[in-house]
């Protein structure tokens, strides 16, 4: 059974965050270990857009978290915690966060993206020009890079799409080059 079909069954064909029934997609909750239904949610395009683009957030849309934060499904809890943490300065999200309980492993997963940290504690990734990199950005390599542990050389000018950030080290990002997931040092990339 496909992940989408399993998520539709689990959610009753509704967004697991806001309950919408239109434009539903599988959303993988990063960072993932194995992928699959235990690391994914079914979400509408509105929720996904606002999760991935903090500038597009409509605070009132996220009042739905009052219900979805109590989901029995861990990936839904993780996304709810992250969004409440992001919005906590508005007051009511902080109240919901105070009510929410996540076990140690789930909380570690929720915090893995850096959401909920104070700005001074956040790891900020910058490209070779000092431009801030975000999860999901696209970058281009500015020099040939030999990939450790293989004979592969990532060529200058190669575009790396949908990067992932290392939340412990501001100098490292991850991305796929020629179908292989590699770690790239930020000083050798430029944001597209």
Beta bridge partners of 146: 153
Neighbours of 152 (CB within 10 A): 14
Does the structure show a pLDDT above 90 at 65?
yes
**Residue-wise pLDDT tens digits, 133-164:** 888 889 999 999 998 888 889 999 999 998 98
The answer to whether 66 and 87 have CB atoms below 8 angstroms apart is no
- Closest by Cα among 179, 184, 173, 191 to 31: 173
- Residue 119: the pLDDT is 54
Give the dihedral sign, CA 95/98/103/109: positive
pTM over 0.85: no
Q: CA–CA distance from 52 to each of 49, 83, 102, 104 (Å)?
A: 5, 11, 22, 25
Helix and strand numbers (H, E) in the chain are 6, 12
**Residue-wise pLDDT tens digits, 23-38:** 999 999 988 888 899 9
38 Rama sector, left if φ>0, alpha if ψ -120 to 50, beta otherwise: alpha
């Amino acid at each position: 059974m496909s992940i989408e079909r399993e998520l539709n069954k689990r959610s009753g064909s509704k967004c697991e965050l806001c309950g919408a029934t239109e434009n539903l997609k599988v959303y993988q909750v990063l960072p993932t270990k194995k992928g699959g239904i235990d690391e994914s949610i079914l979400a509408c395009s509105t929720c996904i857009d606002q999760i991935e683009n903090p500038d597009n957030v409509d605070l009132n849309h996220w009042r739905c978290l009052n219900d979805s934060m109590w989901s029995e499904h861990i990936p839904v809890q993780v996304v709810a915690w992250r969004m409440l943490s992001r919005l906590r300065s508005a007051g009511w999200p902080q109240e919901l966060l105070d009510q929410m309980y996540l076990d140690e492993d789930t909380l570690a997963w929720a915090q893995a993206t850096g959401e909920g940290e104070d700005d001074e504690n956040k790891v900020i990734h910058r490209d070779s020009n000092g431009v801030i990199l975000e999860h999901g950005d696209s970058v281009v390599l500015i020099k040939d890079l030999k990939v450790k542990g293989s004979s592969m050389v990532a060529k200058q000018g190669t575009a790396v799409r949908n990067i992932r950030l290392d939340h412990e080290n501001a100098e490292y990002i991850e991305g796929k080059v020629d179908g292989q997931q590699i770690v790239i040092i930020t000083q050798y990339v430029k944001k597209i």
